[in-house]
Amino acid sequence: MKESRRTNDLRKQDFTPATLDFGPVQFILARHFGFCYGVENAIEISYRALEESAGKNVYLLSQMIHNQEVNNDLQSRGIKFIMDTDGHQFIPWEKINKDDVVIIPAFGTTLEIEHLLLDKGVDVQKYNTTCPFVEKVWNRAEKLGKENYTIIIHGKPKHEETKATFSHSAHNGPSVIVRDMEEAQRLGNYILGSKTKSEFYDEFAGKFSVGFDPHLHLQRVGVVNQTTMLATETQAIADFIKQLMITKFGADSLKTHFADTRDTLCYATNDNQDSTYQLLETEADFAVVVGGYNSSNTSHIVELCERKFPTFFINSETEIKSRTEIHHFSYPRKQKIVTHQFLPDKNPVRIVLTSGASCPDTLVDRVMLKLAGFFEPIKTVEEALAEF
């Protein structure tokens, strides 16, 4: 189905969802969902590293992507994780040596870790799976730093990608992280000079580069982002900062104080999010979003779906226990919850179905088929596809 839509829409101008009609249940699928190029490339390189490194220790810095099924598969094939997503060490650095293979995950890594590995003689480039769009953000941040702009990073401070981006950014210029619009507005107080340095150091502790001076370093700024954040939120933050600069310095001086950086938004994140907005234009009984519970891009798709539908965030079909019970993740509460009688008693039942960029399509297939199995009589997959 995805291939058919790709072939018929090579320029990606049609973001309307598709419907697979099984009779008593219909699935409304997003135009774009699942693996992006960066994730596919990272997984392919990881498997190649295993094939080419027989007899060697093969390590991943942390999770390849935020999908437990993919990470479990890599581990089952012999890859060992050096640390978890929060940076807790599983394998001490002293056990890593120059003969070992270390794979850099799709999120990238910090300069500090890269230099540590280089000092050990480890080849960090041979199996570096850093997403090209993450590297694009790093390059843009470097350009900003060289042009004496301060880099404002819209991202989650504890996320591996944001930590990597901050490390690269801080190497090139003063840098500060804002988690959301609320933090951007709080940063705005320091741009306008209405709060003190000491308040800044308390309020943004752990989110600014060494030597950062809010009075000095918020005169010329540019905004970049963790590529999996909501694109609309990144743009809103950039527009807010831009307006502050106009207020403080005047429209005629805007280019001196604000750099236009909208080109750092990841196309795959944009496509998935734009497709989700189109899902919100349809009518359905509920939505199912498939992906890792610690996946940033998936969580934002969940946020969007929740604006209109009862939404169930699951990591695989195993969370659907029966026709009357589903286990799912509440992102706001950060915990698993159970919902009973989630399937409405009606005909047909319409289900929105989509997934994050770190979710294999096979998982979406399995979720769809498990849900379809609760209804009868239903059309076969072949019959449903023939009518697509």
Residue of 161, 183, 317, 319 marked catalytic: 161
308 vs 21: CA distance, rounded Å = 21
- Non-local CB neighbours of 372 within 8 Å, separated by 6+ positions: 22, 25, 27, 378
203 catalytic? Reply is: no
Q: Are 35 and 357 in contact (CB under 8 A)?
A: yes
Would strands 349-355 and 25-29 be described as parallel, antiparallel, or unpaired?
parallel
221 vs 335: CA distance, rounded Å = 37
68 vs 76: CA distance, rounded Å = 12
Please write down the HEC assignment for all residues of the chain. Answer: CHHHHHHHCCCCCCCCCEEEECCCEEEEECCCCCCCHHHHHHHHHHHHHHHHCCCCCEEECCCCCCCHHHHHHHHHCCCEECECCCCCECCCHHHCCCCCEEEECCCCCCHHHHHHHHHCCCCCCCCECCCHHHHHHHHHHHHHHHCCCEEEEECCCCCHHHHHHHHHHHHHCCEEEECCHHHHHHHHHHHCCCCCHHHHHHHCCCCECCCCCCCCCCCCEEEEECCCCCHHHHHHHHHHHHHHHHHHHCHHHHHHHEECCHHHCCHHHHHHHHHHHHHCCCCCCEEEEECCCCCHHHHHHHHHHCCCCCEEEECCHHHEEECCEEEEEECCCCEEEEEECCCCCCCCEEEEEEECCCCCHHHHHHHHHHHHCCCCCCCCHHHHHHCC
One-letter amino acid of 77: R
Cα 14 from chain centre: 23
326 vs 312: CA distance, rounded Å = 8
Catalytic residue annotation: 161
